[in-house]
């Protein structure tokens, strides 16, 4: 059983994942460009490293959790990247990078004798903290099955297929639906409130009916009704995932009429509030146009 592991990227998702691995008894080597992120995990027992190559020279199994395809590719294949490590045998990418970046990284890793597992996750920060993420795993079946104890610490294992990028395609489909639910829910909730409906009752009815979705179930009660807008995922990253999905659909010559309209709303939100804004602020874009806010009525 693998009991020594490395993880690169200690952000909102990678940090909790590293903590869970430590709690599960894994000797966990870590790297992040931000010293404060490394320090937080070192205080919990993590072992700091100097670079992705240094980390990959200390362990056979490396996980990465990174925000964009460009950063993931640089960490994997760039100067001092994972590919330059002399001990690593398995590279597991938990990021959302899209199928083409996944295939490029897998090919370069294979030339160095490193197996690549495509394993993007869904479930948000709370899922990372609780170990309830959905993990969309693609790669050689035998190897993926051998790694199930690691995935079991993180969440629920779904084997998608053996080709690099198949997990990424599954993740993009999931996030496109999530983005669509958030955009459509923002519009109907603002419409209802402007007409005089209590948003709390709207949420209860929709969750009990056929319109139920994760935006109404989770995002509105936890980050919109209370006006905190702090669910933990950025508008910029959501827009990135939407564009990766639409790029892949174009490559596959698959029509995405509804999803292209959804992209327009998220593009406006990104431009208006900035890429670092919490993705729940998309509702504010609709509120500003309608002149109504989704908040409980005054007693």
Give the active site residues. Answer: 171
8 φ/ψ angles, rounded to the nearest 5 degrees: -115, 125
Q: Are the C-beta atoms of residues 73 and 109 closer than 8 Å to each other?
A: no
Give Dmax over CA atoms of the chain in angstroms.
66
Other C-beta atoms lying within 10 Å of the C-beta of residue 25: 10
**C-alpha distances out from residue 203 to 216, 239, 286, Å:** 6, 25, 17
Closest CA to 14 of 32, 27, 36, 2: 32
Please state whether beta strands 121-122 and 115-118 pair in parallel, antiparallel, or not at all (unpaired): unpaired
- Tell me, rounded to whole angstroms, the distance of Cα 250 from its chain centroid: 22
Q: How far apart are CA 124 and CA 120, in angstroms?
A: 12
Q: Are the C-beta atoms of residues 10 and 20 closer than 8 Å to each other?
A: no
**Strand locations in 202-244 (E):** none
Provide the 3-class DSSP secondary structure of residue 294. coil
DSSP 171-188: HHHHHHHHHHHHHHHHHH
- Please measure the distance between the N-terminal and C-terminal CA atoms of the chain and give it in whole angstroms: 58
Q: Which tokens belong to 212?
A: 């139920």
Q: How far apart are CA 87 and CA 113, in angstroms?
A: 11
């Amino acid at each position: 059983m693998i009991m020594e592991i490395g993880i690169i990227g200690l952000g909102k998702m990678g940090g909790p994942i590293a903590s869970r691995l430590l709690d599960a008894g894994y000797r966990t080597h870590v790297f992040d460009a931000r010293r404060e992120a490394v320090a937080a995990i070192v205080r919990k027992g993590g072992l700091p490293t100097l670079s992705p190559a240094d980390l990959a020279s200390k362990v056979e199994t490396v996980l990465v959790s990174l925000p964009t395809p460009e950063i993931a590719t640089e960490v994997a294949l760039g100067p001092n990247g994972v590919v330059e490590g002399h001990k690593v045998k398995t590279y597991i990418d938990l990021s959302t990078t899209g199928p083409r970046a996944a295939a490029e990284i897998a090919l370069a890793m294979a030339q160095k004798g490193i197996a690549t597992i495509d394993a993007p996750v869904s479930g948000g920060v709370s899922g990372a903290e609780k170990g309830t993420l959905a993990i969309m795993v693609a790669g050689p079946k035998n190897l993926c099955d051998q790694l199930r104890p690691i995935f079991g610490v993180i969440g629920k294992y779904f084997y998608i297929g053996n080709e690099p990028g198949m997990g990424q395609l599954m993740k993009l489909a999931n996030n496109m639906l999530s983005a669509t639910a958030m955009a459509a829910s923002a519009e109907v909730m603002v419409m209802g409130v402007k007409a005089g409906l209590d948003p709390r009752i709207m949420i209860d009815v929709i969750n009990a009916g056929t319109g139920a979705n994760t935006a109404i179930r989770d995002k509105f009660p936890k980050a919109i009704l209370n006006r905190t807008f702090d669910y933990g995922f950025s508008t910029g990253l959501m827009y990135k995932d939407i564009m990766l999905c639409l790029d892949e659909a174009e490559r596959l010559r698959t029509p995405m009429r509804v999803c292209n309209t959804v992209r327009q709303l998220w593009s406006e939100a990104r431009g208006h509030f900035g890429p670092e804004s919490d993705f729940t602020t998309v509702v504010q874009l609709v509120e500003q146009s309608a002149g109504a806010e989704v908040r409980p009525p005054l007693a």
